[in-house]
Structure formats: structure tokens, C-alpha cells
Structure 1
């Protein structure tokens, strides 16, 4: 039986998951591929920290020894950071190897270049694991793109922030207490900035944007807001309105181009993301023919991420990169006026023209419809505007309390 020879870059949590999955599911892989899958070499940062039992596998801290192997079919990137992963994968592609990566930061910055290089050298590039861990978002979108135009994506793309918000609501915890629990459980790093400030979710949104719309959003014009300012009091007020806080990445192509936001929002019971709790990730996709499709599952971890990488290994020959919109093609859609929950101190609140009061549901919240700029203009330290996604019915309408002036 012929062999698919793999070079594995990185042997941390994800790298070990990939190696164990290949070893433990070898019979299944052979049945599907008709070939044996063999990890021939593993790149590590410090050899002395690893006691590797299989002497047939080259364990090295020198990438050059891997790229110069006599036979090398696939290089799997399971390391973090923009470099050296980008450089390593460029070398692998130029050698003629198929490549698979789980590195969302690197791929958000360099995915376009790697796709072009892979196409030039007639090799495949798998990146399912860069976005949803074990959720098959990329493959699903590739299937949708054959006939559907994706109009909008809303996703919970970071399990750490979702766990914190869930814990704050269910256990009535402060942000700091919920973060500490997330760190104790291994859901959050010692330095959690990438997760709680939205960088991780933003990188994933960039990858999705390039796949769906053929281009990335303009980074400087995108919105990225973390969850550190959300308080138990705000969560309690939102709950009284039938709403839940979620840290959501949104992509939409409007008349100005690709619009990307990562920020705390509120969702009601009818929204697909309402019941996505704990460390789960989910993506809600709106397309013009099929309508709404929602995918939910584990967004990170050893075996969910390994699952995505091994699925890419199986689909190597079909990992193409469809382009939906040519540059300048299409007018996009005109964005509807957003709905906001303004939570906090409403005393002496005066709403200028451009606001429509939908509901005054409590002494601490007013529901309005306005532009994003208008909502931001009246927000202050003790009054914050959070966008409400989807349709939500507010039964207690009391517009006598706050009126536009």
C-alpha cells in the first residue's frame, strides 16, 4: 500500500491531537484514502521536553530537516503566531507539498498569499481548523458557494468569551471571577487578551470573509470590542428583557464593502445563537436560496481541532478557493437600521432626532432604533448601547418615558 507522508509542525495540544488521531484511526483513513497515513517527522521547539516513543518518527527542532526529507507529501501546521509558520508553509508549498493549518492569526494575515502560492504550485491548502475547531464551517461554506450567495454570517467564534458570559449570567459572577474560573479550567490562557478583547474572533472572521466574499474586510475600518466592560448588572437587566449577551463576530457585504464587527451584542430566544452556551462555538449563515443554516459544536481543544485537520487531510484534492464577487461587482445590500438596548442610567437622557423609541421596558433600559453613530453619540460611562440582533418582541411599550427631542 502506498503512503501519504506527513510532516507535523508543533507538538503541543493540537499537534498531539493530530498525531493520536492519525495513529488511532489509521484503519479508517486507509479505507477512505486507499493509502497509509504516516507521520514521518515532528517539529518541536525544545527536543528535551519531549519523550517520544516512536523511533521511526524524526523529532527535530530544525525545520530544514523536515523539508529536506526524501518523501514529504503533506505539511500540517499546528504552531501559533504569524511566524515562523508562514515561512515554513511557503517553503512546503514551493517544494510541492499539500499544506494544512490551524493557525488563525497567521492565516488571517497571510491566507491570500498562501492560496495564490498553492494555486501556482498546484497543491491544496486546508484551513478548516482556523475558524471553528471541530465545526465544519469551511467545508459547509464551500458547498453553499456553488449556488448560494451568502448574505450574512453571525458567529460565536471564541469559546473562552462565551464561557465567561455564560458563567456571569448563570452564576451571577463578576467578569473577573468568571475569567479566573475559565483560567482554572484551562479555557483561558494566563494572558487572555486575544480571547476577551476579540482578536481571536476577528482573525477567524477575516478568514471567513476572504472565503465568502473573495476579500478581507478593511482591518482599520472594522469594529473589535471586547467583553471586559460587561457587568453583572447589565446582564441582569438584559435577562429581564428576555435577552442574552453574546460576543459575536458578524460579516455582511453592504454598499460600502465588507463590513466586519466583533462586539458584545444582545440576542433573543428566536436567534440561532441564543442557546449557544459555555465553551461551544456556533455560526449562523444566511444565504439567498437556502435561507438560514446554523452550525454548533466545540470550537477548540485537542480532538475537535485535530478532527478538522484530519478532515482536511481527507479532502485535500477538493480544497479549492472559490471567488464569489469580482472586484467592484454587485451593489451589496442596504443595511437596515439597527435596534439597540441602551442600558444604564437613563436620568436626563435626551435623544436627538434620528432615534425611534421602540420600548421603555424598565427603569434601566430603553430600546431604540438608530444608526450606529447615533447610538454611540448618546452613550456615556453609565449608559451603554448594545445592538440587538434578530427579531425580538418587546411587550411592555412605554414610550412616554424617553422621547426624541
Structure 2
């Protein structure tokens, strides 16, 4: 029987999870692929550290030793940073190996080059684990994009930020206390900047944009905002209206214009993200035929991420074309310029006596916090003139609930 030889680069949470899953699900892999899957090598940083790896497996800190194995079919990369992973994967492709990566920062920067190089060497690239952990978002989009035209993708793509916002609301914790708890549970790094400032979600958003639309917006034009400005008072005020804060990545295409944002927004009870709590991730896709679909599940962790990598292992071994959906797609133009449509906003810091005729006051939570209806450009212009002012878009909230009254937004 033929054997598929695999190398795993990195043996942290993801790498170890992949190794264990190959061992525990060997029969399933053999049944699907018609070949036995064996781990031939593991790249590690510290050779002295004891690891639970079979003696037959090459354990090395020198990638060249892996490249010179007599048989090598698939290289799975589960390291961090852009380099050296990018160089390792280029060398693996040039050797004739299929590659799989869970590295969203590296793939956001270099995915296009890797896919083009793989195409020229007739090998495949798997990258499901770069977005939303164990949720099969990329595979779903590949199938959906055969005919459907996607117009909007929204996602909760960072479990750490979602956990912090959930804890702040449920347990009435401050941001600092919720972050500290996330760090104790292993959800947040000692330096949480990538998570709480939105960089992690940003990289995933750029990957999704390329899959859905075949191109990305200019990175400098993407509105990226983290969750550090959200306070307990803002969360409490939002709850009075039946709204919840979520850190959401959004990609829209109208005509030839792609717009992406990664920022905290507010959702109402009818939005599919309203009940996405803790470290869960979710992605909502809106397209012209199927309409709206939502995928949700664990966005991180040893085995959820390993699941995505293992499914990619099947995908690349069946030698699927990685660039299948990386072509520019069309989407409907809804006739209104982005920034001109009147939307709902939760604001803090705009005086109640503001008489701007382009702003409609909808509801007041406290002396400082209110809900208004206005075009984005007008909100930005007015709020940027105020000190200590914040504004958050309500992306879905058909009903704002208060203790003794109900305001139907659709009628406003």
C-alpha cells in the first residue's frame, strides 16, 4: 500500500494537535485517501525538550534535513510570524510538496505568492485553519462560489475579543479584569495586542476577501479598530436597548468597490451573531441565490484547529486546484454610495442640544449615551469634533427594547 509522508513544522498547540489526530484517525484517513498517512518529521525549536513523538519520526530544528528526506509529500506549517514560515513553504513547494498552513499573518501577506508558486509546480495549498479555527469557512465558500455571487461577509473571527466582551457583559467585569481572565485561561497571549486591537481578525479578513472576491481592498483603507475603548458603561447602555457589542469583520462588494472593516459593532436579537458567546467564532455569508447562511463553532484550540488542518490534508492529497475561486467576482450595485446611507449608531459624548438637521435622535440611554440615525460621513464629522467621543454602528437591531417602551427601528 502506498504511504503519504507528512512533515509538521512546529509542535505547539496546533502542531501537536495535528500529530495526535493523524495517529488517532489513521484508519479514517486511509479509508478516504486509499493510502496510509505517516508523520515522517517534526520541526521543533528546542531538541532537548521531551515530546511524545514516535522514535521513527525525525525530530529536528534544521528544515534542510526535512527537505532532504527520501520521500516527502505534504508539509504542514504551524509556526508563527511571517518568517521563516514563508521561506520554508516556498522551499517545500519547489521540492514538489503540497503545503498546509494555519498561519494567518503569513498567509495574509504571502498567500498570493504561495498559491501562484504552487500552481506552477502542480501542487496544492490548504489554508482552512487560517480563518475561524475549526469552522469550514473556506471550503464552504469554495462550494458556494461556483454560481452564487457573494455581496457581504461578516465574521466574529477572534475568540479572545469575543470572550472578553462576553465576560464584561455577563459578569460586569472591566476590560482589564476580563483580559486578565482570558490570559489565565490561555485564550490571550501575555501581549494581547494582535487580538484586542484587531490585527488577528484583520489578517483573516484579507484572506476571506481574496477567496470571496478574488482581490483585497487596499490595506491602508481598511477601518481597523480593537475593543479597548469599550467600557462597562457602554455595554450596560447597549443592553438597555437589547443590543450587544461584538467585534465584527465585514467585507462588502457593490459594483467594483470592496470595503472592509474590522471593528466593534452592535447587534440586535435578530442578528445571527447575537448569541455567539465566549471563544466561539461565526461567519455569515450573504449571496444572491442561497441568501444568508451562518457557520459557527470553536475558533481556536488544539483539536478544532487540527480538524481544519486534517480536512485540508485530505483536500491537498486529492490534489484540488488551490486557485479555484481566486478570480474576480461581480456583485450587485445597490445604488447608494458607501457613507451616504443613513444608519443607526450608539454614541457617547455628543451633547443632547446638538441641533444638526442631518442627525435624528432615536433614543437616550444616559446623559452621555444615545442612539442616533445618520449617514456615516456625518457621524464621523460631528463626533470627531468632540473630545472623548465614541460611536459604534448598529448593524442589526430591528427592535430597541427599553424597560417600559419598545421602539421599532424599521419604522424610523
State the TM-score, normalizing by the size of structure 2: 0.92
CA contact (8 A) 1:342 1:383 kept: no
Deviation sequence 1:218-239 (CA, Å, 0-9, x none):
1000011010110000000000
Greater displacement, 349-358 / 72-81: 349-358
Deviation sequence 1:312-349 (CA, Å, 0-9, x none):
0111122532346549x667444472523333345354
Residue matched to 2:273: 273
Give the secondary-structure state (helix, strand or coil) at the position aligned to 1:50: coil
Residue matched to 2:314: 314
For the residues of structure 2 that align with 1:300 and 1:252, how far apart are their CA atoms?
Answer: 25
Residue segments in structure 2 that go unaligned for 5+ positions in a row: 408-412
For the residues of structure 2 that align with 1:309 and 1:292, how far apart are their CA atoms?
Answer: 26
- Residue from 348, 352, 356 that aligns with 1:352: 356
Q: Quick check: 1:374 aligned with 2:374? A: no
CA contact (8 A) 1:101 1:130 kept: yes
- Residue from 383, 392, 396 that aligns with 1:386: 392
Aligned residue pairs, count: 397
CA deviation after TM superposition for structure 1 residue 143, in Å? 0.5
Residue matched to 1:401: none
CA contact (8 A) 2:269 2:397 kept: no
Greater displacement, 75-84 / 331-340: 331-340
Residue matched to 1:94: 94
Superposed CA RMSD in Å reads 2.0
For the residues of structure 1 that align with 2:21 and 2:353, how far apart are their CA atoms?
Answer: 58
For the residues of structure 1 that align with 2:154 and 2:332, how far apart are their CA atoms?
Answer: 21
Give the secondary-structure state (helix, strand or coil) at the position aligned to 1:206: helix
For the residues of structure 2 that align with 1:367 and 1:232, how far apart are their CA atoms?
Answer: 17
State the TM-score, normalizing by the size of structure 1: 0.93
CA contact (8 A) 2:210 2:326 kept: no
For the residues of structure 1 that align with 2:111 and 2:75, how far apart are their CA atoms?
Answer: 16
Gap change, CA 1:272 and 1:321, over 3 Å in 2: same
CA contact (8 A) 1:158 1:299 kept: yes
Residue matched to 2:410: none
Give the secondary-structure state (helix, strand or coil) at the position aligned to 1:15: helix
CA deviation after TM superposition for structure 1 residue 107, in Å? 0.2
For the residues of structure 2 that align with 1:376 and 1:90, how far apart are their CA atoms?
Answer: 44
Gap change, CA 1:397 and 1:277, over 3 Å in 2: closer
Residue matched to 1:236: 236
